[in-house]
Each structure stands twice: as C-alpha cells, then as structure tokens.
Amino acid sequence: MSKTRVLISDPMSSQAVDVFEKRGIDVVQTGKMTEEELLDMIPSFHGLAIRSSTNVTEKVLHAATQLKVVGRAGIGVDNISVSACTAKGVVVMNTPMGNAITTAEHTLAMIFSLARHIPQANQTTHAGAWAKSKYMGVELTGKILGIIGSGNIGSIVAQKAIGFGLKVQAYDPYLTEERANVLGIKKVELEELLITSDVISLHVPKTVETENIINASAINKMKKGAMLINCARGGLVDERALHVALTSGHLRGAALDVYLEEPAKKNSLFGLENVICTPHLGASTTEAQEKVAVQIAEQISDYLLDGSIKNGLNAPNLSAEEVRQLRPYFQLANYLGLFAGQLSHTAIQGITVTFSGDAAKLNVEPLTTQVVQSVLAPHFNDINVVNARKVAFDRGIHVTEAKEDLEDVYHNRVTISIMAGDKTRSVCGTLIQNRPRLIEIKGIKLESEFGEHMLYITNQDEPGVIGAIGRFAADKNINIANMHLGRRESRGDAISLLEIDAPVRSIDLDGLRGIKSISDVQYLNFNSLIL
C-alpha cells in the first residue's frame, strides 16, 4: 500500500510539516506554485493544504486523481471550487477559529485608528509637521457599534468592544435572542442598524446574499459622520458608492483591509485622507499563522488516517470516536442501500431511513448520507458520500431521516424505504456482533448475511419450488453457498435469497424466471460497490 501524501502548495508555518511527519504522512511543501506546476504535481497526492494563493479549480481537481481532501489554513474558501470538490467527492475543510482573535483585534485596531486619525497623524508627524489641530478625533465610549454578522469573529469584536465602552448591536439572520443576550448585544434588523450605528463593521462571508450589502442605498441610510470598517471580504462594499460618500462628507471615514480586486495595487479609495487601507492583514500575526497551519495539518491528517472530519464545508463533522462507533453501521448502511438500489428499476422519488434502538442514539446524519450514496450508486456514475445528497436533491429525490424506539429481539435496526412510482419497497437490517445482517424485505422476515454475489428470488410458497431452484442451479453449474427463506404466510408471497460463488448469466436468470411459481429473479452484485 502506497504511503499517504500531502502537498502544501502555499507558504505555511513549518509546524504544519512537523504535524504531518509525526503522523507518518509523506509531506511536500513547495511554496507558491503556478497552475501548471500544480497540475504536474497534484496527481500523486491524497491531501492538499493551502492558504490564499493556490486556486483549486475544476481543472486542478480533474488532474488530482487521488485527492481526498483540501484544507484551507484560514477561513475564506473563495479560491476553492467547493462545488467541484463536492462533485468529485473531495472534502473541503477550513479553520474558522484559528485566526478569529487576530482578525477581531485588527478590526478593533482599525476602529480606533479611524476614530483618532492615527495613521495620518503618524505620517505627518514623521514628516516634521505638528498638525495637532488637524486631527481632531471622536470618543468611542458610548457610541453604537453595528456589527453585520455575529459569527466567530463578529462575536469576539462585540465582546471586546463592550469592554471599551461601546454599545453593540448586530444584524444576523441566524442570531437568536438567547445568543444576543449571552453576548450582551442588541439584535436588530439591517435597516435599523444602518440608521442608528455610529460605526459599522462587516463580518460575513461573500455570498450572493451579501455581495454589495453596503451599496449606495445602504450608505444613504447611514448616519452622517458614521464610520465603516471592512476586515471581512472584498465585494461586500460597493467601492464606487463608498467613494462618493467619503468625498461628499456623508461618512466620516472608512477602514478597509479587503478589496474587490486583490492584490489591490490600484483603487479609487487609495489616497483619500479619510480612508485607512491595509493589505489584507486581518490574519497576519505570527500566532495566527502558526495556529491555522497546525490546525489544518491536524484536520487533514485525522481525515486521511481515521476518517474523522472537523470544520468540513461539504461533509458532516465526525469525531474519531464517532467514526469508531459508526464504522460497522456504515457497512450496514452500505449493504442495505446497495440491496435496495439494485432492486429499484424505476425513477426513485424518495428515500426514508429509519434508525431504531441503539442505532437511533448515534450521529445518524453520516449514515443517512451513506444510504443515499449506496442506493443511487447502481444508477449514477461518480456518486460518493460527499456529493450524494446534492445528487439526490438535483434529481428531486426527497430524503427523510427518522428515529424510533425499539421493542424487538434486535437491539438495533436500520430500515430503508424506497418510493418509486406508485410503489414503496422496504428493506431492514441489523448488526449482530458488529456484522451486518438482512432481517426483513418488504415486510417478510428472514435472516441473511450479505455475500459478494446473490440471487434475489420472489415466488409463491408452494411445494417443489426450492427443489426446482436447486436442480436448475446444479444443471447450470451455479454453486449455492447459502440459502435463506422467508414467507409472508403459508402458500403466500415468499422470498428466497441465495448466496452464490460467481455472477449469473442473463440467460440463466431468464431460465430461473421460467420455473413455475417464481415471479422474479434478480442478480445482486456487492463486489465492486462494497465499502
């Protein structure tokens, strides 16, 4: 088995290399690379650790034939095509808390610098001008700080600003009243924040909803003499509208660490006396860079070595302990999903997964995702546990997850119900000594292990059927390793489940279907699709 390999393609603390090496992972650090250089190197690597310089595009992912995970040492993933990673089954991670304190501190430094004209006063003083009267500042104590986005960084800014005597209010669609009370801030709508805040600071990612959230209309609602801070992402502020507001005197000033185009060598805001500009320094402290480097190295290592996921952006988080607990259930979910998927020959409208007993006490979201992937695997190429939910959503397949109490001989059960056309087919399994067992099909009870090659036969419960199957199998040199039987009632619907040694030819399947009282025969292959 080849050694696990990780490529670090951006400048990063050497501590990241130390983490990988201590975990037994082969690591190569190159520093900044051209796209051509990356395309040439990436095929042999399982993990990719980056900062802001490397662009993980569809082209790069196409070349990355062994890639399993991309880790961003930092928060922003603008340089990663997350959708393309999802489609290919590549997990994307970041380190949202690694530079939160550093970025929050930079934000506060920008607020104080703007309020007291510190950069401008410093420059003129160095030049020999004693311009004391020119740089009259404003006191921040008692002023209202409006925070747009109260996540990790926004919350830290709020708490520290309160310590400096500012009154803090926040707009965030996901902020609850309870959380606002804990932080000691006021929850408001965006319009109220714009109208009433003396200082406005942005702490949201750039999305379709947040792009140009501070536009001309928003700026016109802001207080005359208000100050604007953006240490989050370029593109949140309409820079042309901001230029108008700053030159007209509507806004007192702005402090920017991020810009629509970076590196920002030219910008209409550069040179304005009431603007403070820094070159995306929010996360640029020694402590933060070491912290995010170590964190992303640990996260990538954990995923590659034991399957645990932390700070995943396109996959559910899983601790190492959860991976250990879920491992046999993953196998059960995989088998059941493949079984149900191979029996489905019409368009699937819905998948319901019900967890009972001990199984219901687990983190079942990853198990449901595994079921969806396995159900759809016989029908779609390139489906994986990362993109399975999206594939289902895009095709209008409704996925439902449920839990229920269990009063049964089995301590745990996983039941899959497939809705296709006007029919619903269910299959149920359990773990016995951590081994997956099939225990019910379409309400008919039977108990069977899973084999690589199986025959699923539906028939009427009548004398001579089993003997006819055995004789036909012997005539066609089909070796039956195990046979498991179940029936709904005497002389009623019945199921025969056969484990066989090798695949069965279509002509032989047709022959079995010709046996009296047999209604259908299907060959099930678990060999190439098994976990």
Pairing of strands 435-441, 348-357: unpaired
Which homologous superfamily does the CATH classification assign to the domain defined by 100-277? NAD(P)-binding Rossmann-like Domain (3.40.50.720)
Domain 5-97+287-306: give its CATH code. 3.40.50.720
Every domain of the chain and the residues it spans: 5-97+287-306, 100-277, 320-525
The model's pTM is 0.75
Model pLDDT for residues 210-262, shown as the tens digit of each residue: 999 999 999 999 999 999 999 999 999 999 999 999 999 999 999 999 999 99
The SS3 of residue 188 is: coil
Catalytic center residues: 233, 262, 280
Position 64, amino acid: A
Contact between 150 and 158 under an 8 Å Cβ cutoff? The reply is yes
Pairing of strands 480-487, 493-500: antiparallel
d(CA 351, CA 375): 9
Sequence-distant (6+) residues with CB within 8 A of 357 are 405, 406, 408, 410, 411, 412, 413
Cα radius of gyration (the chain): 30
Of 118, 161, 123, give the one whose Cα is nearest residue 137.
Answer: 118
CB hemisphere CA count around 262 (13 angstroms): 17
Contact 283, 103 (CB under 8 A): yes
CATH topology identical between 5-97+287-306 and 100-277: yes
Which residue in the block uniquely carries the two structure tokens 């179940």? Answer: 486
Give pairs for 53-59: CB < 8 Å, separation 24+: 53/9, 53/10, 53/11, 53/79, 54/9, 54/10, 54/79, 55/79, 55/80, 56/80, 56/81, 56/84, 56/85, 57/81, 57/84, 58/84, 59/35
Looking at residue 1, its pLDDT comes to 52
Superfamily of domain 320-525: D-3-phosphoglycerate dehydrogenase; domain 3 (3.30.1330.90)
Q: Which of 285, 294, 296, 371 is nearest to 326 (CA)?
A: 371
| CA pair distance 49, 33, nearest whole angstrom | 13
Residue from 378, 369, 329 nearest 526 by CA = 378
Angle at which helix 100-116 crosses helix 286-306, to 10 degrees, equals: 160
- The answer to whether residues 331 and 293 touch, using CB atoms and an 8 Å cutoff, is no
pLDDT of residue 136: 94
For residue 361, which amino acid is it? K
Per-residue pLDDT of the chain (531 residues; tens, 9 = 90+): 579 999 999 999 999 999 999 999 999 999 888 999 999 999 999 999 999 899 999 999 999 999 999 999 988 888 999 999 998 999 999 998 888 999 999 999 999 999 999 999 999 999 999 999 999 999 999 999 999 999 889 999 999 999 999 999 999 998 999 999 999 999 999 999 999 999 999 999 888 889 999 999 999 999 999 999 999 999 999 999 999 999 999 999 999 999 999 999 999 999 999 999 999 999 889 999 999 999 999 999 999 999 999 999 998 889 889 999 999 999 999 999 999 999 988 889 999 999 999 999 999 999 999 999 999 988 887 788 898 998 899 889 999 999 998 777 788 999 999 998 788 989 999 999 999 999 999 989 999 999 999 999 999 999 999 999 999 999 999 999 999 999 988 888 999 999 999 999 999 999 999 999 999 999 999 864 444
Predicted pLDDT of residue 408:
74
Residues 6+ apart with CB under 8 A from 512: 455, 457, 469, 472, 518, 521
